[in-house]
Amino acid sequence: MSPEGAIAATAPASQNKTLYNLFLLLVSGLGGLLYGVDVGIIAGALPYLESTSGLNAQQLSVIVAAVLLGSVISTLFAGLLADWMGRRLLMTLSGVMFVLSIPVIALSHGYGPLVLGRLLQGVSAGLIGVVVPLYLAECLSASSRGKGTGIFQWLLTLGIVTAALVGMYFSIRVDQVAKLGNPSQLFAFKDHAWRSIFWVSLPPGILFVIGSLIVAESPRWLFRQGKRDAALAALLRSRSTEQANIELREIEQNAAAEKAVTATGKQKKESLLHRKYVIPFFLACIILAFNQATGINSIIGYNTNILLQSGLSDVQSHWGYVIFTIVNFLMTMGGVALVDRRGRKFLLSLGTAGIIASLVSTAFLFRITETQRVDSNHAVQSLVTDNQTLSLLYNQSAAGKLLAASRANHQIESAPTSLVVIYSYGDFRAATKAVRSDDPGTTPIVISRETAVPANKVVAFFSNPFGDLDAARTAPLTIDNALITPLPSHRTGVLVALTLFAFMAFYAIGPGVCVWLALSELMPTRIRSNGMSIALLLNQAVSTTIAAVFLPTVGKFGYSTIFFAFAGCTVIYFVTAAFLLPETKGKTLEEIEMYFEKP
């Protein structure tokens, strides 16, 4: 064949590989989209579910937390499942579980089906969080691995933005129906709204399942199953023949290096305590734990409340959250574009440095007013009824009476304030949402035993493993703190919003994109799946702990304290990224593994 003919023959093959790589990125991106939808969709649906389902606060809390519980359970076993059944089949299974969860939730008419559907979503999210980055790391070439995993994160943020916009759309529609003045029509539309919000997320789930059935299995998993020819075929779908052969040789050499020959000639596997396993595993765990310790999940989850307490109005706070999610989405695009050019180490160092500056700035802005905080717990305790409940409409008049009883200075009495009540029944504590004295549409703070005491021992264990549930069911209501804080000015609210947007921008361009890469690239092939599961489980444990202490800490010590704490944790993150983490840009997984083998 002439050179011209050879070139003509290889051109379609090269084009097919390019199209396959794009398809691979699309499928993995859909996995990220599902993960983002899992995280964000309940925020828009919850107000309407609360209004129409007839469920109490404890049941709604379980429905919200069921995703986290399902995710923790599936993350624990995701690595074992990925090694047993393969990466591709586990991706398909996770997609099927997500697809099944939607009709279970959207067609439900009771507590049980809602919890089951949310558990399915959580299990799906936990599996996706492990298997998709794992699959991408093992399938993509070194030159495109950063972009591929970045697209997973990018579409994850798109899922959160989509959930926020869908929630905003139905919020506007509900407001329009409310103006008609027909209570039954409003109730019916709210019921339709929360079901529709879940139905919207069904199409990407179906596309993810279809896509995962078409893509090839991970070549590294196939090789470790003894299927060398199948591994080569999988490599050839996305690489040239020369690149595929070179990478297969590296995989073979790496597998051979894992084994050592003893004096008797018998083979044994290398100890898992070898430095090439321990050091990358330790680094990945630090990065995953402190990624959550930046406060990212709590700042996203409570963003509207934070902005509301910073001095912005209710409408401004909700639009601030929408802008917050859009900043996340747009800056993640920048991270995807830069991760294979500037490298992981540079972006992580830049991002964590910016996060520290943003968090410290936010903390100082809140500190200005929180130093004037007054605890009126004795005054509020006197309002508790004989049946150990409390209902308090907090407005300017009520604020004045509570402050006068607490002997606060006159300047605070005349200014708009916010109130957070921290209370307990026995060993179980809870905190109310912050309410503002200048909000004309505020509803009374209602405290009852159901809002703090778990419904059963399973929920009680996760709330307080050492708590006495039986004693709490008869214990009196104790007002631990009733903290009244002057509201910051509107100017301060705008500045807080800007610092939070900066926080989100730095997080998105650095840790947001690179954390999945660090998780999948650092782990050696032998421990990658199980190591990722353990590291992600640690990630979720830190996230759960922060979620549990966030509101009580804010209620008792203020936003400034929690933001300073997040900044302190991020300093450790920055030191790890800047001084301990190696640059993995452009290196194959086997080359990264060899790096950690060196003394």
Is 311 within 8 Å of 487 (Cβ atoms)? yes
* CB within 8 Å of 215: residues ≥ 6 apart: 23, 24, 27, 88, 139
Of residues 126 and 526, more confidence is placed in: 126
Residue that is written with structure tokens 């809870």 in the block: 430
**pLDDT bracket for residue 567 (50, 70, 90):** very high
The pLDDT tens digits of the residues spanning 257-308 come to 656 544 444 445 555 556 667 787 888 888 888 888 898 888 887 777 788 7
> Reduced to 3 states, what is the DSSP secondary structure of residue 195?
helix
Is 402 within 8 Å of 379 (Cβ atoms)? yes
Which residues, listed in sequence order, are joined to residue 429 by a DSSP beta bridge? 424
Q: What's the confidence (pLDDT) of residue 464? A: 73
Number of Cβ atoms within 10 Å of the Cβ of 466: 6
Task: Give 239-260 as a DSSP string.
Answer: S-HHHHHHHHHHHHHHHHHTEE
Alpha carbon distance 324, 38 (integer Å) = 18
Is 230 within 8 Å of 222 (Cβ atoms)? yes
Q: Where are the domains of the chain?
A: 8-215, 219-257, 374-489
On the question of pLDDT at 7 being above 50, the answer is no
Q: What's the confidence (pLDDT) of residue 137? A: 74
Percent of the chain scored above 70 by pLDDT?
83
- What's the mean per-residue pLDDT of the chain? 80
The total number of residues written for the chain in this structure: 599
Task: Give 99-160 as a DSSP string.
Answer: HHHHHHHHT--SHHHHHHHHHHHHHHHHHHHHHHHHHHHHHS-TTTHHHHHHHHHHHHHHHH
The pLDDT tens digits of the residues spanning 340-374 come to 788 788 888 999 999 999 999 999 999 888 888 88
Q: What is the dihedral of CA 525, 529, 533, 539, to 10 degrees?
A: 40
Is 403 within 8 Å of 484 (Cβ atoms)? yes
Please give the structure tokens belonging to residue 270. Answer: 């290398």
Amino acid code (one letter) for 19: L
**pLDDT bracket for residue 419 (50, 70, 90):** confident
Strands 428-431 and 417-425: antiparallel
Alpha carbon distance 68, 78 (integer Å) = 15
**pLDDT bracket for residue 377 (50, 70, 90):** confident
Of residues 544 and 320, more confidence is placed in: 320
8-215 to CATH, choices 3.40.50.300, 1.20.1250.20, 3.10.20.30, 3.30.420.110: 1.20.1250.20
On the question of pLDDT at 589 being above 70, the answer is no
3-class DSSP string for 279-308:
HHHHHHHHHHHHHHHCCHHHHHHCHHHHHH
**pLDDT bracket for residue 92 (50, 70, 90):** very high
Angle between helix axes 87-106 and 202-214 (nearest 10 degrees) is 160
Residue 493: name the closest of 393, 598, 331, 366 by CA.
Answer: 366
Alpha carbon distance 117, 103 (integer Å) = 8
CA distances from 251 to 117, 276, 571 (A): 41, 16, 37
| Across 176-199, average pLDDT | 84
Phi, psi for 419 (deg, rounded to 5) = -130, 130
Is 468 within 8 Å of 460 (Cβ atoms)? no
Per-residue b or e along 285-294, where b marks 16 or more CB atoms closer than 10 Å to that residue's CB: bbbbbbbbbb
Alpha carbon distance 57, 33 (integer Å) = 29
Is 504 within 8 Å of 307 (Cβ atoms)? no
On the question of pLDDT at 52 being above 60, the answer is yes
Q: What's the confidence (pLDDT) of residue 563? A: 94
Is 481 within 8 Å of 381 (Cβ atoms)? no
Q: What's the confidence (pLDDT) of residue 461? A: 73
The pLDDT tens digits of the residues spanning 63-86 come to 777 777 788 788 778 878 888 888
Q: Is the pTM of this model over 0.75?
A: no
> Reduced to 3 states, what is the DSSP secondary structure of residue 558?
coil
Which residues, listed in sequence order, are joined to residue 479 by a DSSP beta bridge? 423
On the question of pLDDT at 491 being above 80, the answer is yes
Which residues, listed in sequence order, are joined to residue 422 by a DSSP beta bridge? 431, 481
| Across 406-417, average pLDDT | 66
* CB within 8 Å of 451: residues ≥ 6 apart: 57, 58, 430
Q: Where are the beta strands (DSSP E) in 311-438?
A: 374-375, 390-392, 417-425, 428-431, 435-436
* CB within 8 Å of 320: residues ≥ 6 apart: 303, 304, 307, 312, 497, 500
Is 530 within 8 Å of 80 (Cβ atoms)? yes
